[in-house]
Amino acid sequence: MSASDADLPVVGVFRLQLFKRSETFIPAQVARYSRYRPLYIGRTRFGDIPAGAEAAIPKGGALTALRVLALGDPGPFVEALAGRRIDVLHAHFAIDAVHALPLARRLGVPLVTTLHGFDVTTRDAVFLRSGRPALIAAVLRRRALRRQGALFLSVSQFIRRAALKKGFPEDRTIVHPIGIDLQRFSPGAEFQPGLVVHVARLVEKKGTAYLLQAMAQVVERQPRARLVIIGDGPLRGQLEAQAARLNLAGAVTFLGGQPHEATVGWMARAAVIAVPSVTAASGDSEGLPTVIFEAGGMGVPVVASDTSGIPEAVIDGQTGFLAPERDTGALAERIGRILTDPILRGELGRGARNLMETRFDLARQTATLEECYDRVRCAGRFVSQ
């Protein structure tokens, strides 16, 4: 760290489970800070700390978890900080924010929260029945978070509307997508005709089961079409069995979780990216999937469900195609249309890239985020004891 960096105000980037493979959007945003210095704060670490970054993670196992999750004790985080200064705390997900709030109180700093999706769309009863202390606390302590949080950043208009229904303050809940690094994601790779790529954690809301049904129709008309599924999750075995029943064994490949660079390589070679998301039985819905940003940055068109925040980043007929939620026939028709028309693919891909440049540029979005930090610090919305 240079002397000039040491003088910058510090953002405590708070996530209970740090550096998860599926959450590259957090370090991507942090890497674009220019006027603030980040310090990651979390309870556990799932992956490597980004090069050059600092992290404060409490020691201890079950006892530390009990203090943090069940009792709302910020002491373990304070101890892990070891006297390091924090000027503003930024929690990702409302669930994490209720656990960041006691730390913000102890430090006397403003708390900014990014609302991503399931944290404000899932029904409270589902969290309360989960038996998981972090989720139960997210419901029981939400009122204090809504009252004392300095600012709530919704990743889409859809998520803002969901947050307002949960009682978040209208005057402090704004729309702020994270965006995409347009220097890192750019068009240029040669695509493979017939290749459909689906990147998702294999859970209900990602709609993978509907995509498999659609692919059975696509393959019937276009035998050379194939689907690559990147990601893992509790439904993988069930989905593999479904693919076998649909006689898709030769046309569908389940790669499981992959390093981000490998995932990006597959996406760049795709003729189309499929995002067939649905609203889960629990109410869990998408905010604005990062995979749509990454595809757009690389000029790859997306076929997605017309649901949740997705239409805010996929403009039907201009950057990709939308299909009604769970409508496998419409999904198959739109995927097939792109696979059979490389000129159309190119036009949609250019439209997607242009949309990312005009509305979802990570550098511009992060500069706006730092202005938000400035405002909450100047406004005096500091969380007090």
Q: For 110-137, how does the pLDDT look when each residue is reduced to its tens digit (9 = 90+)?
A: 999 999 999 999 999 999 999 988 899 8
* Pair (170, 245) in one structural domain: no
Residue 186 lies in a domain: no
Residue 185 lies in a domain: no
Residue 385 lies in a domain: no
* Pair (351, 367) in one structural domain: no
Residue 13 lies in a domain: yes
Q: Residue 42 in contact with residue 80, Cβ under 8 Å?
A: no
d(Cα 139, Cα 117) in Å, to the nearest integer? 15
* Pair (348, 205) in one structural domain: yes
Residue 190 lies in a domain: no
* Pair (145, 238) in one structural domain: no
Residue 100 lies in a domain: yes
* Pair (317, 211) in one structural domain: yes
Residue 101 lies in a domain: yes
* Pair (13, 142) in one structural domain: yes
Burial 137-149 (b: 16+ CB within 10 A, else e): bbbebbeebbebb
**Per-residue DSSP letter, 195:** E
* Pair (78, 154) in one structural domain: yes
Q: Using one digit for the tens of pLDDT, what is the confidence trace for 254-288?
A: 999 999 899 999 999 999 999 999 999 999 999 88
pLDDT value of position 4: 64
pLDDT value of position 340: 96
Band (381; pLDDT cuts 50, 70, 90) = low
* Pair (285, 222) in one structural domain: yes
For the cut 50, the answer to whether the pLDDT of residue 1 exceeds it is: no
> How many domains would you assign to the chain?
2
**More confidently predicted of 212 and 73:** 212
Q: Which two tokens stand for residue 187?
A: 């068009």
Q: Residue 109 in contact with residue 383, Cβ under 8 Å?
A: yes
Q: Nearest CA to 148 among 109, 93, 96?
A: 109
- Look at the alpha carbons of 60, 63, 67, 70 in this order and tell me if their dihedral is positive or negative: positive
* Pair (339, 366) in one structural domain: no
Neighbours of 196 (CB within 10 A): 26
d(Cα 319, Cα 131) in Å, to the nearest integer? 42
Where are the extended beta strands (E) located within the chain? 10-14, 17-18, 37-41, 44-45, 55-56, 88-92, 111-115, 151-154, 173-175, 195-199, 226-230, 252-256, 272-275, 302-305, 320-323
* Pair (147, 213) in one structural domain: no
Q: What CATH number does the domain containing 259 carry? A: 3.40.50.2000
pLDDT value of position 372: 97
**Residue 336 structural domain:** 195-359
Residue 206 lies in a domain: yes
203's CB contacts (< 8 A; 6+ apart) are 233, 234, 235, 280
- Report the chain's mean pLDDT, rounded to a whole number: 93
* Pair (16, 105) in one structural domain: yes
* Pair (372, 334) in one structural domain: no
d(Cα 210, Cα 303) in Å, to the nearest integer? 13
